[in-house]
Amino acid sequence: MNPGNFLAELKRRNVYKVAVGYGVVGWLVVQVATSVLPTFHAPDWAAQTLIVLVLLGFPVALIIAWAFEMTPEGMKRTENISPDQPLPQWSRRKFAAVFATLALVAAGLLGWQLLRTKILAPPNEPTAASGPIPEKSIAVLPFENLSSDKENAYFADGIQDEILTRLATIADLKVISRTSTTRYKSKPEDLKTVSQQLGVSNILEGSVQKAGDKVRVNVQLIDARSDSHLWAKSYDGEAKDIFALETEVSQQVADALRARLSPAETQRLADAPTKSAEAYDLFLKGEFEARAAEASLESGDFERAEIFYRQALELDQNFALAHARRVMNAMQRHWYGDHLTDVQLQPIQDEADRALQLAPNLPEAHTARGVVYYFGHRQYEEALAEFHVAIRLQPNNARAFEFSSYVHRRLGRWKDSIADLATSLQQDPRNFILLGEAAVTYTCLRMWKEAQDFAQRALAINPRDITSLSELMAVAISGKGDVGEASRVLTTVPPDKTLLPDFAHAGAQGIIGYRALIALLQHDPNAALRAFSDDSGIDERRRYPARVVILLLVNDKAGAHREADKALSLVEAKLRERPDDLDAIAQASWVYLGLDRDADAIAMAKRAVDLLPPEKDALVGPVTLVNLAQIEARAGHAAEAIAILRQLLSMAGGAQASIAALRITPVWDPIRNEPEFQQLLTMQQRVGP
């Protein structure tokens, strides 16, 4: 058969039309399946298998179209039909109508997917591929320390930070936060990649050399897209005149980028935080130590920062910025470990007020007071008001947007939380802590894919980030019910990282942590107990209650009673010190359960819910409910536990109360066979904000 006859025969046998029709219908089937299957929590392999089948079916469809034809007498092999006999053909009008109908359905589906993606998808890191990068955008990279005394690194860091802070007050600019820029070299080789990763058009590079009171600073502004210099500045002078340099550099950057400045912004660029050069030098040392403390969360680093701030304020009691940053340092120390009583918090509150009295328009002072309201007193509306003022005064204040997002999350304003977090990430795109917190937010909303995506983005920047690793394990267990996947994630936790339990108020899982939980899910109680052995390095106040929980979950009541005897005096002592400590209350509820004091256990768990119900805190409140449901279940009160679980499945924030987690977590074993519990597994749990 010559090529011309072969092509004519293909046309006669409708092979072309079958190919086109199969392609359109196959694409439509794949799109519908990949959109609908996740809604029913189908495993990933289901969609993948369907795609493979559609692809394999294409050549089969062509072979059938060639070998068989529909005739008025039914389907016949084509070889049994005379080549001169005309075969039934679709009219052009009929073919066009069918094709147009399929196209409309496909377009509607695509439009729905785009809308869904716009509403629910996590924001992408800004890159050249994700949209145009603003012309008026800049990242200030770490300044190189050229001093012979390497201990002067704090000074180079401080100059960079102060220039960046001044630029951040300009609303007409997009300025990237220091947290993201600090991960780059002072003079990276590939500026275009840096530009794309940070989502900026311009880069400010610099170097600082300090010898005694003499300072030399070199800065250059570069168009990162073309790698061309816009201007350069060299400064030689005394350290006491450094404020003039910071103002001049900031003003020249704004001029070079043609940024419009309001009179208030111009004034803020020129403001000197203190008249004392010595106090400023001590302040920069405090900032250096405070940044180290934020990374390590070690009490010693927080204390070193406190010493330098205090020394700076002894030289200038009106140094408002030092007051504000000292407050931030103290509140973070309080939040991450060294919890303060209300009496101990009062002087910090007073210092935050003092900073605002000295400088009512200082963004850092408003941020600091907002953190006192948030971290210190859970006064969320007051905290939001302060963060919003800080943002108005400093539109590129990524930290204020970050804190605002966290407060909205506590208030159950999930859409506002996501929006503020997205803005913060635009200004701080390489901040793995922010990305990890985005994963936490989406986990609370049971949006497992988004949570996993953010956690993976964070780990691409910092593979050792425990928050993101924990969220991947949460997605595996609570989102997919996949113990194997959770175990694989656990193997990636660096060996020098102690994977401590989560917040104890998160019930059994929070008290024992993922390492022990995964061991229990793999039916290895000995491995779970080894995580809390006497030589594990974990404090006995956490070790004994954890062993109580593990032994109760494996139905070793005698062993649980022995460990509860050891734990009782420890948790009760902690409760005497801090009667409202949610962690101690949760631990006590399980210790009482281990001692067969069920009524006391339930009363203690209810106390935590009374202190912090979901209505008061949408992030932590559901967690206290989870603990109460677990205690009720283990005490044999099936109806009460199931009622709480039904409530949790209908609200956001109850990620531990997911269908997948209910199916596999041993804490629910005492009520697992109850008909009402089995009905829970068929519920439509709430997903999304």
> At what angle are helices 598-611 and 621-634 packed, to 10 degrees?
170
Instruction: Examine the domain organization and report whether 102 and 208 are in the same domain.
Output: no
> At 302, is the secondary structure helix, strand, or coil?
helix
Strand (E) positions, 396-531?
Answer: none
Residue 590 CB contacts under 8 Å (≥ 6 apart), including other chains? 508, 511, 545, 548, 549, 552, 601, 631
Instruction: Examine the domain organization and report whether 552 and 676 are in the same domain.
Output: yes
Is the CB of residue 31 less than 8 Å from the CB of residue 109? yes
The pLDDT value given to residue 499: 61
Judged against a pLDDT cut of 70, whether residue 479 lies above it is answered with: yes
Instruction: Examine the domain organization and report whether 63 and 185 are in the same domain.
Output: no
Give the Cα separation of 451 and 473 in Å (integer).
11
The pLDDT value given to residue 35: 54
Judged against a pLDDT cut of 60, whether residue 111 lies above it is answered with: no
Tracing tokens 């400590």 back to the chain, one arrives at 581
Residue 296 CB contacts under 8 Å (≥ 6 apart), including other chains? none
Confidence tier at 422 by pLDDT (50, 70, 90): very high
Residue 370 CB contacts under 8 Å (≥ 6 apart), including other chains? 382, 383, 384, 385, 386, 387, 390, 400, 403
Any idea which of 44-53, 125-134, 602-611 has the lowest mean pLDDT? Answer: 125-134
Instruction: Examine the domain organization and report whether 105 and 139 are in the same domain.
Output: no
Judged against a pLDDT cut of 60, whether residue 130 lies above it is answered with: no
- Asked whether the CA dihedral 473, 474, 476, 482 is positive or negative, the reply is positive
Say how many domains are in the chain. Answer: 3
Which one, of 36, 245, 254, 261, lies nearest residue 160 by Cα? 245
Q: Is residue 225 assigned to a domain?
A: yes
The pLDDT value given to residue 3: 53
Instruction: Examine the domain organization and report whether 47 and 88 are in the same domain.
Output: yes
Mean pLDDT of the chain: 85
Instruction: Examine the domain organization and report whether 158 and 234 are in the same domain.
Output: yes
Residue 448 CB contacts under 8 Å (≥ 6 apart), including other chains? 442, 475, 478, 479, 480
* Neighbour tally for 145: CB within 10 Å: 21
Ramachandran class of 360: left when φ > 0, alpha when ψ lies in -120 to 50, beta otherwise = alpha
Give the Cα separation of 22 and 3 in Å (integer).
24
Is the CB of residue 685 less than 8 Å from the CB of residue 658? yes
Q: How far is CA 394 from CA 269, 318, 642, in A?
A: 11, 22, 48
Instruction: Examine the domain organization and report whether 236 and 161 are in the same domain.
Output: yes
The pLDDT value given to residue 665: 94
The pTM (predicted TM-score) of the whole model is 0.77
Domain end, chosen from 120, 148, 179, is at 120
The pLDDT value given to residue 110: 53
> At 38, is the secondary structure helix, strand, or coil?
helix
Assign residue 217 the CATH number of its domain.
Answer: 3.40.50.10610
Q: How far is CA 114 from CA 107, 109, 281, 649, in A?
A: 10, 9, 52, 28
Q: Is residue 584 assigned to a domain?
A: yes
Strand (E) positions, 278-330?
Answer: none
The pLDDT value given to residue 318: 97
The pLDDT value given to residue 239: 81
Give the Cα separation of 685 and 444 in Å (integer).
12
DSSP class of residue 172 equals T
Tracing tokens 């019910």 back to the chain, one arrives at 481
Confidence tier at 606 by pLDDT (50, 70, 90): very high
Q: What is the mean pLDDT of residues 591-604?
A: 97
SS3 content of the chain, % helix, strand, coil (to 5): 65, 5, 25
Q: What is the mean pLDDT of residues 366-392?
A: 96
Judged against a pLDDT cut of 50, whether residue 48 lies above it is answered with: yes
Residue 510 CB contacts under 8 Å (≥ 6 apart), including other chains? 501, 502, 503, 504, 586, 623, 627
Q: Is residue 281 assigned to a domain?
A: no
Q: How far is CA 49 from CA 22, 35, 53, 194, 449, in A?
A: 18, 15, 6, 39, 19
532-567 burial: b if 16+ Cβ within 10 Å, else e: beeeeebeebbbbbbbbbbbbbbeeeebbebbbeeb
> At 138, is the secondary structure helix, strand, or coil?
strand
Any idea which of 54-58, 144-148, 304-308, 508-512 has the lowest mean pLDDT? Answer: 54-58
Higher local confidence (pLDDT), 118 or 349? 349
* Highest averaged pLDDT of the listed ranges 60-64, 520-524, 652-656: 520-524
Instruction: Examine the domain organization and report whether 617 and 670 are in the same domain.
Output: yes
Q: Is residue 304 assigned to a domain?
A: no
pLDDT (tens digit, 9 = 90+) per residue, 233-270? 888 888 888 888 888 889 999 999 999 999 999 998 88
Domain end, chosen from 120, 141, 173, is at 120
Q: Is residue 32 assigned to a domain?
A: yes
The pLDDT value given to residue 539: 84
Instruction: Examine the domain organization and report whether 554 and 646 are in the same domain.
Output: yes
Give the Cα separation of 107 and 24 in Å (integer).
12
Q: What is the mean pLDDT of residues 618-644?
A: 95
Q: Is residue 286 assigned to a domain?
A: no
Assign residue 548 the CATH number of its domain.
Answer: 1.25.40.10
> At 103, is the secondary structure helix, strand, or coil?
helix
Instruction: Examine the domain organization and report whether 149 and 237 are in the same domain.
Output: yes
Instruction: Examine the domain organization and report whether 150 and 266 are in the same domain.
Output: yes
Q: Residue 166 is part of which domain span?
A: 130-272
Judged against a pLDDT cut of 60, whether residue 97 lies above it is answered with: no
Judged against a pLDDT cut of 70, whether residue 95 lies above it is answered with: no
3-state DSSP of 202-244: EEEEEEEEEECCEEEEEEEEEECCCCEEEEEEEEEEEHHHHHH
Confidence tier at 443 by pLDDT (50, 70, 90): very high
Q: Which amino acid type is present at position 171?
A: A
Any idea which of 84-88, 155-159, 545-549, 650-654 has the lowest mean pLDDT? Answer: 84-88
Is the CB of residue 442 less than 8 Å from the CB of residue 451? yes
Q: Residue 163 is encoded by which pair of tokens?
A: 């220039």
Q: What is the mean pLDDT of residues 374-403?
A: 95
Give the Cα separation of 632 and 226 in Å (integer).
65
Q: Residue 279 is encoded by which pair of tokens?
A: 């106090």
Q: What is the mean pLDDT of residues 150-159?
A: 86
Q: Is residue 202 assigned to a domain?
A: yes
Which helix or strand (DSSP H or E) is residue 145 part of?
Answer: strand 144-145
Express as a percent the part of the chain with pLDDT over 90: 58
Instruction: Examine the domain organization and report whether 108 and 134 are in the same domain.
Output: no
Q: Is residue 237 assigned to a domain?
A: yes
Ramachandran class of 223: left when φ > 0, alpha when ψ lies in -120 to 50, beta otherwise = beta
- Asked whether the CA dihedral 555, 559, 561, 566 is positive or negative, the reply is negative
Domain end, chosen from 249, 272, 295, is at 272
